[in-house]
Amino acid sequence: MSVSKLRIGCAGLGRMGKRHALNFLERTPRAELVAASTPDDTEIEWAKEHLAPYGVKLYKNYDDMLKHEGLEAVVVASATAVHAEQAIKAIDVEKHVLCEKPLSTNVEISQQVLDAAAKKPHLKVMCGFSRRFDASYRDAHRKMTTGDLGSPSVLRSQTCDKLDPSGFFVAYAQFSGGIFVDCSIHDIDLALWFFGQDGKVKSVSAVGITAVEPDLRKHNDRDNAVGLVEFYNGKMAYFYASRMMAAGQEDTTEIIGTKGKVTVNAQPQINLVNTYDNGGVHREIPQHYYDRFEYAFVTEANEFTASCLENKPVPLKLEGAVQAVRIGAALQESLITGQKIFFEEDGSRANKSRL
Protein backbone atom coordinates (compact mmCIF):
# COMPACT_ATOMS: atom_id res chain seq x y z
CA MET A 1 0.00 0.00 0.00
CA SER A 2 1.42 3.39 -0.97
CA VAL A 3 2.05 5.94 1.75
CA SER A 4 0.61 9.40 1.22
CA LYS A 5 3.17 12.19 1.01
CA LEU A 6 2.69 15.95 1.14
CA ARG A 7 3.60 17.43 -2.25
CA ILE A 8 5.36 20.68 -1.48
CA GLY A 9 7.05 23.52 -3.35
CA CYS A 10 9.73 25.90 -2.10
CA ALA A 11 9.58 29.61 -2.91
CA GLY A 12 12.99 31.24 -2.79
CA LEU A 13 16.37 29.54 -2.96
CA GLY A 14 18.57 31.96 -1.08
CA ARG A 15 20.49 30.85 1.98
CA MET A 16 17.40 29.90 3.98
CA GLY A 17 15.46 28.66 0.97
CA LYS A 18 18.21 26.18 0.10
CA ARG A 19 18.09 24.81 3.63
CA HIS A 20 14.31 24.39 3.57
CA ALA A 21 14.40 22.78 0.14
CA LEU A 22 17.04 20.23 1.16
CA ASN A 23 15.27 19.51 4.45
CA PHE A 24 12.00 18.70 2.66
CA LEU A 25 13.87 16.77 -0.03
CA GLU A 26 16.16 14.69 2.18
CA ARG A 27 15.04 14.83 5.81
CA THR A 28 11.24 14.85 5.80
CA PRO A 29 10.12 11.31 4.91
CA ARG A 30 6.42 12.17 4.66
CA ALA A 31 6.97 15.07 2.25
CA GLU A 32 7.89 15.13 -1.43
CA LEU A 33 9.56 18.26 -2.77
CA VAL A 34 8.08 18.53 -6.25
CA ALA A 35 8.79 22.14 -7.21
CA ALA A 36 10.90 25.20 -6.42
CA SER A 37 10.89 28.77 -7.67
CA THR A 38 13.35 31.66 -7.77
CA PRO A 39 13.87 34.57 -10.18
CA ASP A 40 17.62 34.48 -9.51
CA ASP A 41 19.74 32.82 -12.22
CA THR A 42 22.49 31.85 -9.79
CA GLU A 43 19.98 30.10 -7.56
CA ILE A 44 18.47 28.33 -10.57
CA GLU A 45 21.90 26.96 -11.43
CA TRP A 46 22.29 25.67 -7.86
CA ALA A 47 18.87 24.04 -8.07
CA LYS A 48 19.70 22.35 -11.38
CA GLU A 49 22.53 20.57 -9.57
CA HIS A 50 20.95 19.87 -6.19
CA LEU A 51 17.19 19.60 -6.80
CA ALA A 52 16.37 18.88 -10.44
CA PRO A 53 18.14 15.47 -10.55
CA TYR A 54 15.64 14.28 -7.92
CA GLY A 55 12.60 15.22 -9.94
CA VAL A 56 12.05 18.74 -8.60
CA LYS A 57 10.53 21.01 -11.25
CA LEU A 58 12.14 24.46 -11.33
CA TYR A 59 10.29 27.70 -12.00
CA LYS A 60 11.53 31.27 -12.33
CA ASN A 61 8.04 32.60 -11.63
CA TYR A 62 6.31 31.91 -8.31
CA ASP A 63 2.82 32.13 -9.81
CA ASP A 64 3.75 29.42 -12.29
CA MET A 65 4.95 27.16 -9.48
CA LEU A 66 1.59 27.52 -7.75
CA LYS A 67 0.01 25.92 -10.84
CA HIS A 68 2.24 22.83 -10.57
CA GLU A 69 0.01 19.78 -10.90
CA GLY A 70 -0.72 18.13 -7.58
CA LEU A 71 1.01 20.80 -5.47
CA GLU A 72 -0.48 20.79 -1.95
CA ALA A 73 1.74 23.07 0.15
CA VAL A 74 4.31 25.83 -0.14
CA VAL A 75 7.22 26.83 2.06
CA VAL A 76 7.82 30.56 1.62
CA ALA A 77 11.53 31.23 2.14
CA SER A 78 12.01 34.13 -0.24
CA ALA A 79 12.94 37.74 0.59
CA THR A 80 11.05 39.13 3.60
CA ALA A 81 9.47 41.83 1.44
CA VAL A 82 7.38 39.24 -0.43
CA HIS A 83 6.63 36.80 2.42
CA ALA A 84 3.07 38.04 2.92
CA GLU A 85 2.27 38.43 -0.76
CA GLN A 86 3.42 34.91 -1.59
CA ALA A 87 1.75 33.37 1.45
CA ILE A 88 -1.59 35.00 0.57
CA LYS A 89 -1.36 33.89 -3.06
CA ALA A 90 -0.79 30.30 -1.92
CA ILE A 91 -3.71 30.44 0.51
CA ASP A 92 -5.97 31.86 -2.21
CA VAL A 93 -5.29 28.80 -4.41
CA GLU A 94 -5.86 26.31 -1.58
CA LYS A 95 -2.27 25.52 -0.57
CA HIS A 96 -1.01 24.90 2.95
CA VAL A 97 1.73 27.40 3.87
CA LEU A 98 4.84 27.35 6.01
CA CYS A 99 6.22 30.90 5.94
CA GLU A 100 9.62 31.96 7.18
CA LYS A 101 9.64 34.65 9.87
CA PRO A 102 8.51 37.38 9.90
CA LEU A 103 5.24 37.32 7.97
CA SER A 104 6.13 40.91 7.05
CA THR A 105 8.01 43.83 8.52
CA ASN A 106 4.66 45.68 8.56
CA VAL A 107 1.94 44.94 11.12
CA GLU A 108 -1.00 45.65 8.78
CA ILE A 109 0.42 43.45 6.01
CA SER A 110 1.10 40.67 8.52
CA GLN A 111 -2.53 40.91 9.58
CA GLN A 112 -3.58 40.39 5.95
CA VAL A 113 -1.97 36.94 6.04
CA LEU A 114 -3.89 36.11 9.20
CA ASP A 115 -7.13 37.36 7.62
CA ALA A 116 -6.56 35.29 4.48
CA ALA A 117 -5.88 32.17 6.56
CA ALA A 118 -9.01 32.78 8.66
CA LYS A 119 -11.13 32.53 5.52
CA LYS A 120 -9.65 29.08 4.79
CA PRO A 121 -9.62 27.29 8.18
CA HIS A 122 -9.14 23.92 6.48
CA LEU A 123 -5.67 25.02 5.39
CA LYS A 124 -2.61 24.78 7.64
CA VAL A 125 -0.80 28.12 7.74
CA MET A 126 2.20 28.52 10.03
CA CYS A 127 5.00 31.00 10.57
CA GLY A 128 8.30 29.23 11.23
CA PHE A 129 9.68 30.35 14.56
CA SER A 130 12.47 27.79 14.70
CA ARG A 131 13.27 27.98 18.41
CA ARG A 132 9.90 26.45 19.27
CA PHE A 133 11.14 23.29 17.55
CA ASP A 134 14.52 23.17 19.30
CA ALA A 135 14.88 20.29 21.78
CA SER A 136 16.48 22.46 24.48
CA TYR A 137 13.83 25.18 24.30
CA ARG A 138 11.09 22.55 24.40
CA ASP A 139 12.66 20.97 27.46
CA ALA A 140 12.90 24.38 29.15
CA HIS A 141 9.24 25.05 28.34
CA ARG A 142 8.21 21.68 29.81
CA LYS A 143 10.16 22.39 32.99
CA MET A 144 8.60 25.82 33.30
CA THR A 145 5.03 24.63 32.75
CA THR A 146 5.15 21.99 35.51
CA GLY A 147 4.83 24.76 38.07
CA ASP A 148 7.83 23.53 40.07
CA LEU A 149 9.68 26.77 39.25
CA GLY A 150 6.67 28.93 40.00
CA SER A 151 5.11 31.40 37.61
CA PRO A 152 7.38 32.64 34.78
CA SER A 153 7.76 36.35 35.45
CA VAL A 154 10.89 37.64 33.73
CA LEU A 155 12.39 36.60 30.40
CA ARG A 156 15.83 37.72 29.26
CA SER A 157 16.70 36.63 25.75
CA GLN A 158 19.21 37.56 23.10
CA THR A 159 19.93 36.99 19.43
CA CYS A 160 23.54 37.93 18.73
CA ASP A 161 25.01 37.38 15.29
CA LYS A 162 28.65 36.89 14.43
CA LEU A 163 30.35 40.06 13.20
CA ASP A 164 30.32 40.33 9.40
CA PRO A 165 32.81 43.00 8.30
CA SER A 166 31.64 42.84 4.66
CA GLY A 167 28.90 45.41 5.21
CA PHE A 168 26.15 42.86 4.55
CA PHE A 169 24.05 44.00 7.48
CA VAL A 170 24.05 47.62 6.26
CA ALA A 171 22.66 46.62 2.86
CA TYR A 172 20.23 44.17 4.47
CA ALA A 173 18.91 46.86 6.83
CA GLN A 174 17.06 48.50 3.93
CA PHE A 175 14.64 45.56 3.85
CA SER A 176 14.88 43.81 7.24
CA GLY A 177 12.48 45.99 9.22
CA GLY A 178 15.20 46.74 11.75
CA ILE A 179 17.12 44.79 14.33
CA PHE A 180 14.10 44.11 16.57
CA VAL A 181 11.87 42.83 13.74
CA ASP A 182 14.69 40.84 12.16
CA CYS A 183 16.71 39.52 15.11
CA SER A 184 14.64 39.92 18.25
CA ILE A 185 11.48 38.55 16.61
CA HIS A 186 12.62 35.09 17.80
CA ASP A 187 13.03 36.31 21.38
CA ILE A 188 9.69 38.11 21.24
CA ASP A 189 8.05 34.87 20.14
CA LEU A 190 9.69 33.07 23.07
CA ALA A 191 8.17 35.62 25.47
CA LEU A 192 4.74 34.97 23.98
CA TRP A 193 5.32 31.21 24.27
CA PHE A 194 6.54 31.17 27.87
CA PHE A 195 4.22 33.92 29.16
CA GLY A 196 1.16 32.95 27.14
CA GLN A 197 0.04 34.31 23.82
CA ASP A 198 -2.93 36.08 25.39
CA GLY A 199 -0.67 38.42 27.36
CA LYS A 200 -1.35 42.11 26.71
CA VAL A 201 1.54 44.52 26.16
CA LYS A 202 1.48 47.55 28.48
CA SER A 203 4.59 49.37 27.27
CA VAL A 204 7.75 49.02 25.18
CA SER A 205 10.98 50.99 25.25
CA ALA A 206 14.31 50.57 23.50
CA VAL A 207 17.78 52.03 23.05
CA GLY A 208 20.58 51.20 20.64
CA ILE A 209 24.02 52.09 19.36
CA THR A 210 26.07 51.72 16.19
CA ALA A 211 29.33 50.43 17.59
CA VAL A 212 30.81 48.98 14.40
CA GLU A 213 28.43 49.98 11.55
CA PRO A 214 27.55 53.71 11.77
CA ASP A 215 25.99 53.55 8.29
CA LEU A 216 23.11 51.57 9.78
CA ARG A 217 21.66 54.86 11.01
CA LYS A 218 20.85 55.77 7.40
CA HIS A 219 18.25 53.00 7.55
CA ASN A 220 17.04 53.81 11.08
CA ASP A 221 18.81 50.74 12.45
CA ARG A 222 21.51 49.87 14.96
CA ASP A 223 24.03 47.06 15.40
CA ASN A 224 23.32 46.70 19.12
CA ALA A 225 19.98 47.28 20.80
CA VAL A 226 18.18 46.57 24.06
CA GLY A 227 14.40 46.43 24.36
CA LEU A 228 12.10 46.16 27.36
CA VAL A 229 8.49 44.97 27.16
CA GLU A 230 6.07 45.26 30.08
CA PHE A 231 2.90 43.14 30.11
CA TYR A 232 -0.39 43.87 31.89
CA ASN A 233 -0.23 40.51 33.68
CA GLY A 234 2.79 41.63 35.70
CA LYS A 235 5.48 40.00 33.55
CA MET A 236 8.33 41.62 31.66
CA ALA A 237 10.79 40.70 28.91
CA TYR A 238 14.26 42.07 28.22
CA PHE A 239 15.73 41.62 24.73
CA TYR A 240 19.30 42.15 23.54
CA ALA A 241 20.17 42.04 19.85
CA SER A 242 23.65 42.40 18.38
CA ARG A 243 25.43 42.02 15.07
CA MET A 244 29.00 42.23 16.35
CA MET A 245 29.84 39.03 18.24
CA ALA A 246 33.49 38.22 17.58
CA ALA A 247 33.48 34.53 18.56
CA GLY A 248 30.29 33.45 16.80
CA GLN A 249 26.55 33.10 17.27
CA GLU A 250 25.26 33.64 20.82
CA ASP A 251 21.55 32.99 21.28
CA THR A 252 20.78 32.70 24.98
CA THR A 253 17.56 32.75 27.01
CA GLU A 254 16.79 32.89 30.72
CA ILE A 255 13.26 32.42 32.07
CA ILE A 256 12.93 33.42 35.72
CA GLY A 257 10.05 32.02 37.73
CA THR A 258 8.84 32.82 41.23
CA LYS A 259 10.48 29.62 42.56
CA GLY A 260 13.43 29.15 40.23
CA LYS A 261 14.61 29.62 36.68
CA VAL A 262 15.78 27.83 33.53
CA THR A 263 18.42 28.91 31.05
CA VAL A 264 19.02 27.81 27.47
CA ASN A 265 22.45 27.99 25.86
CA ALA A 266 23.90 30.08 28.69
CA GLN A 267 27.36 28.81 27.72
CA PRO A 268 27.27 28.49 23.92
CA GLN A 269 29.15 25.54 22.45
CA ILE A 270 29.06 23.69 19.17
CA ASN A 271 29.83 20.29 20.72
CA LEU A 272 31.19 18.77 23.95
CA VAL A 273 34.89 19.20 23.10
CA ASN A 274 37.09 21.46 25.23
CA THR A 275 40.69 22.16 24.24
CA TYR A 276 43.28 22.52 27.00
CA ASP A 277 46.56 24.19 26.05
CA ASN A 278 49.07 26.65 27.45
CA GLY A 279 46.65 29.47 26.71
CA GLY A 280 43.88 28.01 28.87
CA VAL A 281 40.71 26.03 28.23
CA HIS A 282 38.78 26.72 25.01
CA ARG A 283 35.62 25.56 23.31
CA GLU A 284 34.18 26.40 19.91
CA ILE A 285 30.73 27.96 19.53
CA PRO A 286 28.31 28.01 16.56
CA GLN A 287 29.34 30.52 13.92
CA HIS A 288 25.89 31.22 12.51
CA TYR A 289 22.21 30.83 13.43
CA TYR A 290 21.77 27.66 11.38
CA ASP A 291 24.75 26.02 13.11
CA ARG A 292 22.80 26.28 16.35
CA PHE A 293 19.27 25.49 15.11
CA GLU A 294 19.77 23.12 12.16
CA TYR A 295 17.83 20.26 13.72
CA ALA A 296 15.04 22.58 14.85
CA PHE A 297 14.36 23.36 11.19
CA VAL A 298 14.21 19.63 10.41
CA THR A 299 11.71 19.10 13.24
CA GLU A 300 9.70 22.06 11.98
CA ALA A 301 9.49 20.59 8.47
CA ASN A 302 8.37 17.20 9.77
CA GLU A 303 5.77 18.55 12.18
CA PHE A 304 4.29 20.92 9.59
CA THR A 305 4.05 18.00 7.18
CA ALA A 306 2.32 15.85 9.79
CA SER A 307 -0.19 18.63 10.52
CA CYS A 308 -1.12 18.83 6.84
CA LEU A 309 -1.38 15.07 6.27
CA GLU A 310 -3.21 14.28 9.51
CA ASN A 311 -5.36 17.43 9.63
CA LYS A 312 -3.97 18.37 13.04
CA PRO A 313 -3.47 21.92 14.36
CA VAL A 314 -0.10 23.41 13.50
CA PRO A 315 2.31 23.63 16.47
CA LEU A 316 1.93 27.40 16.89
CA LYS A 317 -0.88 29.81 16.20
CA LEU A 318 -0.56 32.30 13.35
CA GLU A 319 -1.95 35.08 15.56
CA GLY A 320 1.30 34.97 17.53
CA ALA A 321 3.29 35.80 14.41
CA VAL A 322 1.30 39.00 13.93
CA GLN A 323 1.64 39.86 17.60
CA ALA A 324 5.41 39.36 17.42
CA VAL A 325 5.69 41.77 14.47
CA ARG A 326 3.53 44.30 16.35
CA ILE A 327 5.85 44.19 19.37
CA GLY A 328 9.00 44.22 17.24
CA ALA A 329 7.81 47.20 15.20
CA ALA A 330 6.93 49.12 18.37
CA LEU A 331 10.38 48.41 19.81
CA GLN A 332 11.98 49.62 16.58
CA GLU A 333 9.90 52.81 16.73
CA SER A 334 10.95 53.40 20.34
CA LEU A 335 14.57 52.84 19.34
CA ILE A 336 14.34 55.47 16.61
CA THR A 337 12.28 58.08 18.47
CA GLY A 338 13.71 57.59 21.94
CA GLN A 339 10.15 57.54 23.29
CA LYS A 340 8.51 54.92 25.49
CA ILE A 341 5.33 53.60 23.86
CA PHE A 342 2.24 52.69 25.88
CA PHE A 343 -0.71 50.46 24.98
CA GLU A 344 -4.22 50.07 26.32
CA GLU A 345 -5.36 46.60 27.38
CA ASP A 346 -7.31 46.23 24.13
CA GLY A 347 -4.05 46.58 22.19
CA SER A 348 -4.63 50.13 20.96
CA ARG A 349 -1.97 52.78 21.41
CA ALA A 350 -2.33 55.02 24.45
CA ASN A 351 -2.28 58.66 23.37
CA LYS A 352 -0.99 60.26 26.53
CA SER A 353 2.44 59.72 28.04
CA ARG A 354 2.74 58.24 31.48
CA LEU A 355 5.29 58.64 34.25
- Three-state DSSP string of the chain: CCCCCEEEEEECCCHHHHHHHHHHHHCCCCEEEEEEECCCHHHHHHHHHHCHHHCCEEECCHHHHHCCCCCCEEEECCCHHHHHHHHHHHHHCCCEEEEECCCCCCHHHHHHHHHHHHCCCCCCEEEECHHHHCHHHHHHHHHHHCCCCCCEEEEEEEEEEECCCCCHHHHHHHHHCCHHHHCCHHHHHHHHHHHCCCCCEEEEEEEEECCCCHHHHHHCCCCEEEEEEEECCCCEEEEEEEEEECCCCEEEEEEEECCCEEEECCCCCCCCCCEEECCEEECCCCCCHHHHHHHHHHHHHHHHHHHHHHCCCCCCCHHHHHHHHHHHHHHHHHHHHCCCEEECCCCCECCCCCC
In the predicted structure, residue 1 carries a pLDDT above the cut 50: no
- pLDDT tens digit sequence for 46-66: 999 999 999 999 999 999 999
pLDDT value at 174 more than 90 = no
- pLDDT category at 168 given cuts 50, 70, 90 is confident
CATH of the domain at 260: 3.30.360.10
What average pLDDT does the segment 92-110 reach? 97
Domain stops at, among 84, 109, 127: 127
For residues 209 and 332, state if they share a domain. yes
Same domain? For 182 and 240 the reply is yes
Q: Is residue 222 part of a domain?
A: yes
- Tens-place pLDDT, residues 251-297: 999 999 999 999 999 999 999 999 999 999 999 999 999 999 999 99
- The answer, yes or no, to whether residue 90 has pLDDT greater than 70, is yes
Do 36 and 102 fall into the same domain?
Answer: yes
For 290-306, what is the mean pLDDT? Answer: 97
Residues 164 and 259 in one domain: yes
Q: What band does 355 get if pLDDT is binned at 50, 70 and 90?
A: very low
**Quick count: other Cβ atoms within 10 Å of Cβ 179?**
30
What is the per-residue pLDDT across 334-348, written as a single tens digit (0 to 9) for each? 999 999 999 999 999
pLDDT at residue 352, rounded to an integer: 61
| pLDDT at 200 (0 to 100) | 93
Question: Do the Cβ atoms of 302 and 267 come closer than 8 Å?
Answer: no
pTM for the model stands at: 0.95
Asked if 213 contacts 139 with a C-beta cutoff of 8 angstroms, the reply is no
Mean pLDDT calculated for residue range 17-33 = 98
One domain, residues 30 and 162: no
pLDDT digits (tens, 9 = 90+) for 195-214: 998 889 999 999 999 999 99
Query: Could you say which of 127, 160, 178 is where a domain stops?
Result: 127
Mean pLDDT of 119-145: 98
* Structural domain count of the chain: 2
Q: What percent of the chain has pLDDT over 70?
A: 98
Evaluate whether residue 53 is within a structural domain. yes
Last residue of a domain, one of 74, 102, 127: 127
328 and 214 housed in the same domain: yes
Residues 170, 91 share a domain: no
For residue 316, give the amino acid letter.
L
Q: Are residues 141 and 226 in the same domain?
A: yes
pLDDT tens string 34-47: 999 999 999 999 99
**Residues 210, 104 within the same domain:** no
Is 217 found in the same domain as 110?
no
Residue 197 inside a domain? The answer is yes
- What's the mean pLDDT when you consider all of the chain? 95
Average pLDDT for 131-158: 97
Nearest to 298 by CA among 290, 288, 309: 290
The rounded percent of the chain whose pLDDT value lies above 90 is 93
Whether residues 201 and 336 fall in one domain: yes
Domain assignment present for 316: no
Query: Does residue 174 lie within any of the structural domains?
Result: yes
107-118 vs 83-92: helix crossing angle, rounded to 10: 10
Banded pLDDT at 353 (limits 50, 70, 90) = low
The CATH number linked to 86 is: 3.40.50.720
Tell me the pLDDT tens digit for each residue of 218-235: 999 999 999 999 999 999
Range of the structural domain that residue 273 is part of: 135-294+323-342
Q: Do 114 and 144 share a domain, yes or no?
A: no
